[in-house]
Amino acid sequence: MADETPDIEVRVKVLTGQELLLEVNPDDTVLDLRQMLGEAVETCYITSYDIIDKNGEVLQDYDTLGDVQKGDVYKMRFKKYRDKDFRYHVSHVQELLMVKLDEVMISMLPVVQGEEQVDQQTARSYPSLTKMLSGDGKSSGNRDHTAALSDFNMADQKPDPTTVGDPKKIELPDPGPYACAEDFTTDVTLDGFFDLMKQIPAVKYATATGITITWSGFNPPQRHRKLQGDLGYVDIQFTGGTLYQVTCTPNGFYVNQSKAKSELNPSPAAKPCNSETLLGLIFQLSPKHKEKACELLKVRASLHPFETGPMVLPQRTEWVDVGEGKMQSAAGIRYGEGCPAVLDHHIPVRTWNDEVQRALELPSGTFAERFFRDKALSRLHTEFIDFASQAVVTAVDGRVTPLNPQEPQEAWVYLINNTFISQAADTRKTYQDIGGDRAACVFAKQDLHGLQAIRKLRTTLSTVSTAIFDYKGKRMLCQTLVPGILMRKADGKIAAPQVLGVGEENEKLYLTNEHVQEELKRLAPALHCEPHMMRDAEGNEHEVHINAELKAMHSSDDRHYLLECSKLTPRDVNWMDNPLAFVRFELVDDFVKSKRTHEVYQKIGEEIAKKREEGESSLDIHFWALEEIRKADEVHAPKFNCDLHTFSLSMEHIDPKEKTDASHKQLEELAAFLKSKLPTIVTELVNNEIVDTECLRDVFHDYGVNMRYLGEVIEMLPKWATHAVKLCTTELVSRVIKHKLRDVMQENSLQDLAAPIVQLLNSILGEKGKGGNGKAKKKNKKKKETKEVLGERWIEEEALKRFRHKLPEGWLGGLSKFMLLRAVCSKVGLSIKQKEYDFTEETPFEPDDIVDVTVVLHHHPPHYSIMEALLDNCQQEPPEVMAQKVRHALTHANVVIGAVSSESALCFQALAKMLMADIDTAIQYQYKALIISRRLYGATHGSMVSLLKNIAVMAYISGRYYPAIQYLRKALYLSRALSGDVNYDILFNLASFYNKMGYNDRAVNLLKYAVDKASLNPDDKERLAVCTQHLALVYGYSGDITKAIETQKAAFELFTDAIGPEDPQTKDADSWYRYWIKAAVDKAKMAKTAIEKSRRKREEEGRRRRCCCASSPCTLLVIEASKK
């Protein structure tokens, strides 16, 4: 990496007559150069061209720019359209003018002065967008989009030199929809919530172009028209204008003489209008819409690249449709409603399984080999998930025919482009005694976790790539197709590969293949599985290494694929009455880590020190240490019997009683270890470190705790922590509603989902006993019986059954129904209309409020070993070395995974914290992390609270007071909206901002709320002391010394009682108390001195006045006159 070739600048003379300045690398290909030109504003609409080098030769796409020199000029030359070229050109122009802002990326490239003059026809075909957007041409140009966007791109704002160091000189910005966040006596409104949900704030500044481009109904051209050069036909419709029908030819586009959609006349119009590009033709047809198109392109070019760059996975759909005018998605533009993307005949057939297996089998001994392997796996996983999400929607919507249409619908399977799609359902009644279809859904998710655990280990056994999608109430599995699984015999029957572990009648047998057994024996210690003896139905005894129900398939590619990996972790003995209760892999790993002896770490540490002295790289040492720990775990780490207490085993245990008792004791110890994690989660909830239900789920899983322990966590929470109780109860209830909502979706046809969904939501979230409006009031009479079933009583019964928690009386009234609605919609993929829902009505929802149902994805990304090693190794390093390693990790994430990824966001956050000394650089990194997180998780995800808070603090430190207040207000609002409470850090920071800006009343209001909030917890007096001290400081700095002394004294007493008189915090509180007393004394002395000085001044003035009166002749005359 140290021998990288430096970039150099080259010029490209484009068809508009301009010269663009590009930075290229000699190792880049012509495709890279085309990518840069496709993202430049000047050439974003030009798709069919050749690139000519300085020798006049046409460059091929995969030619490298090996002999490029600084100052070289490349030329762009028009290339005639072919069928594929013109289709892509039309679709690309559609995307530029009609697609959402975050799906198309364009940018402004430097333009070299002194461009070449072009003829009039070329100028019409290739308008110079750079001139138009800069104001040289005729464009709207009245609205400064850059200024409008600067409210959000705070990294580009420079501090006002007149206010740096003196924030009192600026006016407090208008809080807008976030003003309600500071009024703690009422709940927050939803205006700010909807404002935050706009995926890209700049969409507010983009006006609809009023241009609609669609494919004509006359496509494809008739044979005689093809012979005359017609490639296809396009309809262009302007808002309030006429319809133009355009003929596409190899030489470009022209308006034909067709007058209506029912009649085709492909001859050129009487008034010729033609262009080599579609955008040039549109600009000729309507100068008015030309200005609107330029305005939209200007907004696109003003956005940050991370706001428009490609994402690693399909972008998450917000649960509220905030509305983006007439903007459409790229998928709908490209393929249309009638032609799903996965069925488009232009998409090549992929051999997904073979590609993935070859990538997994790549060597990974050196850094370069690991890098190449990680990149290949990341690319394949991204492409597979993107395709699978579309394939599942296509299958469930009924756009493809299943392979077995004669069977029940829940048993249908689909084959789309070598992906195998099936529904997680108990079609064979295997799980009918333990939950049926629900059990099948649970085991499907368990199987996904098991496959990922095996894939992390290097083994000759193969696994299929799997993704799970919850869509319209169904849990769909999409897997890569195993070679030979659908091969047919001569009689037409499917000849499936040999499945080891299944008999002719699908009875479960034990694996007998020697190769598979040897590999399982090697994998068992890494999975912490204990070997045990079992006897099958025929009386044969077998040594089971992992799980008796594990199967393998010997496919036609001579690989062995592991199947049914759903029981690779042991049962949770805390929930023996639930046959679906298994512990998580994270818990097993933490338990094993806690049992490692000090001697193991000491021995490895000594070897690491030796290797560092010998000059080995940190990455090689890291991988060596991991391998040594794995070897130590194989010998010393605890292992678990995964077949103990499992359901539907066709074999029986024959281990000695002593070994079985020891295995059971091991499971009890693991269950006790799980319960020891619950107090830590309770502490985080009480301290408001978890702000929404999604973060709550992530915290549970990070600790290895299953969500079925929600009820126990709620019961452990103190009564005063109402915000934590509401948060956990919201998650619990939403999970209960989720299962019922899935059942409702499955029981109804795909075209009639809105009505039953609305009926269920109204029965739970509507106010009982109140009438609706209009038609809804009539429908409610027919739904009384349904409401009784789906009301609070049903939820209480399910909560007790699933979570062992009895909901208190009146629990629904204590929850935020809007947050409950958010949690439910996020879990089932519902998207609802943006409006204020009146939950005091009996029917707050109507069928029109259901906008869409989207897929909810469950998957495991590949394991990126280098990323993990770089981030783990930088923890104990000096700051300079730490920042360097994080930069290496960021570069690795950008190249291997993608710029818009969670790994990149994590690196940007770490760099922002490390580089606080260079505050402008830190702000840029933090802002990038904010953009990426907003696109990945949504603008209202709980992680956004801490990101907004951090960037607000950085902004204030740098003197950017206006955006600092705005970001911190958003963090305050979002925290209250999601959890009903506020993090202490947000309160302290915002109060400090207000105090320094001179708005002391606002600061006191925030800190009084913090004190009241902290006083509710009698076990955390230190927190109350900290809040009280902050309030004392605000009183003191605002000039109210008396209240400062009283409050600081209370803080000192609280610190003394909580942490003792010798603690540094207590001594600091005492010093502040003495400081305020001294300040009061000095203030009193100054006041006394001022009074005395004022008295002396008055006496002096009195004496001076008397003296003047005695000596003044005017006064004597007056006296004499008065005597007479």
949: nearest Cα among 688, 696, 681? 688
975: nearest Cα among 196, 70, 164, 255? 196
User: Chain-centre distance of CA 228, in angstroms?
Assistant: 51
Strand duo 541-544 + 466-471: pairing:
unpaired
Q: Residue 129: is its pLDDT beyond 60?
A: yes
Rounded distance between C-alpha atoms, residue 1124 and residue 1119, angstroms: 9
995: nearest Cα among 987, 1003, 1006? 1003
Q: Residue 927: is its pLDDT beyond 90?
A: no
Q: What's the pLDDT band for 137 if we cut at 50, 70, 90?
A: very low
pLDDT at 118: 66
Distances (CA, A) of 216 to 247, 270, 284, 345: 10, 21, 20, 19
Rounded distance between C-alpha atoms, residue 501 and residue 486, angstroms: 19
User: Greatest CA span in the chain, whole angstroms?
Assistant: 150
Q: Residue 363: is its pLDDT beyond 70?
A: yes
Distances (CA, A) of 726 to 720, 823, 824, 978: 11, 13, 15, 10
Rounded distance between C-alpha atoms, residue 568 and residue 547, angstroms: 7
Helices then strands, counting H and E runs in the chain, come out as 40, 24
- The residue type of 305 is P
Q: Which residues pair with 420 in a beta bridge?
A: 415, 479
Alpha helices for 915-1015 (secondary structure H)? 919-937, 943-957, 961-979, 984-997, 1000-1015
- CB of 757 within 8 A of CB of 744? yes
Rounded distance between C-alpha atoms, residue 444 and residue 454, angstroms: 16
Rounded distance between C-alpha atoms, residue 616 and residue 996, angstroms: 52
Query: What residue has token string 């530029």?
Result: 96
Three-state SS string across 592-652, please? HHHHCCHHHHHHHHHHHHHHHHCCCCHHHHHHHHHHHHHHHHHHHCCCECCCCCCCCCCCE
604: nearest Cα among 630, 629, 587, 584? 629
Query: Tokens at residue 1092, please?
Result: 């005395």
- The residue type of 549 is E
Rounded distance between C-alpha atoms, residue 258 and residue 241, angstroms: 16
Structure letter (DSSP) for residue 831 = E
Q: What share of the chain is helix, strand, coil (3-state, %, to 5)?
A: 50, 10, 35
Helix (H) or strand (E) holding 577: none
**DSSP letters of 535-559?**
E-TTS-EEEESS-TT-EEEE-TTS-
> Hey, is 21 helix, strand or coil?
strand
Q: Which residues touch 793 (CB under 8 Å, ≥6 apart)?
A: none
Angle between helices 961-979 and 943-957 (to 10 degrees): 160
pLDDT at 919: 87
Rounded distance between C-alpha atoms, residue 1112 and residue 1101, angstroms: 16
**Average pLDDT, integer, range 195-217:** 64
Mean pLDDT check: name the lowest of 531-540, 704-713, 1112-1121: 1112-1121
**Average pLDDT, integer, range 81-97:** 85
Using CB atoms within 10 A of its CB, is residue 1082 exposed (0-12), middle (13-18) or buried (19+)?
exposed
Q: Residue 999: is its pLDDT beyond 50?
A: yes
pLDDT at 776: 44
Q: What's the pLDDT band for 1079 if we cut at 50, 70, 90?
A: confident
Q: Which residues touch 528 (CB under 8 Å, ≥6 apart)?
A: 588, 592, 633, 637, 638, 639, 640
pLDDT at 806: 92
Q: What's the pLDDT band for 117 if we cut at 50, 70, 90?
A: low
Query: Tokens at residue 249, please?
Result: 């030819």
Q: Which residue has the higher pLDDT, 633 or 890?
A: 890
Query: What residue has token string 């890098």?
Result: 371
Query: Tokens at residue 44, please?
Result: 């974003």
Q: Which residue has the higher pLDDT, 377 or 328?
A: 377
Rounded distance between C-alpha atoms, residue 367 and residue 365, angstroms: 7
Q: What's the pLDDT band for 582 if we cut at 50, 70, 90?
A: very high
- The whole-chain average pLDDT of the chain stands at 79
**Most confident of the following: 170-184, 306-320, 595-609, 714-728:** 714-728
Structure letter (DSSP) for residue 275 = E
pLDDT tens track for 834-888: 888 888 888 899 988 888 888 999 998 888 877 777 777 666 667 777 888 888 8
Q: Residue 135: is its pLDDT beyond 50?
A: yes
Q: Which residue has the higher pLDDT, 777 or 1116?
A: 777
pLDDT at 346: 55
Q: What angle do CA 928, 933, 936 make, to 5 degrees?
A: 130
Helix (H) or strand (E) holding 889: helix 879-896
**Average pLDDT, integer, range 345-370:** 84
Q: Which residues pair with 10 in a beta bridge?
A: 22
- CB of 491 within 8 A of CB of 525? no
Rounded distance between C-alpha atoms, residue 965 and residue 974, angstroms: 14
pTM: 0.83
pLDDT tens track for 552-578: 888 888 888 988 888 899 999 999 988
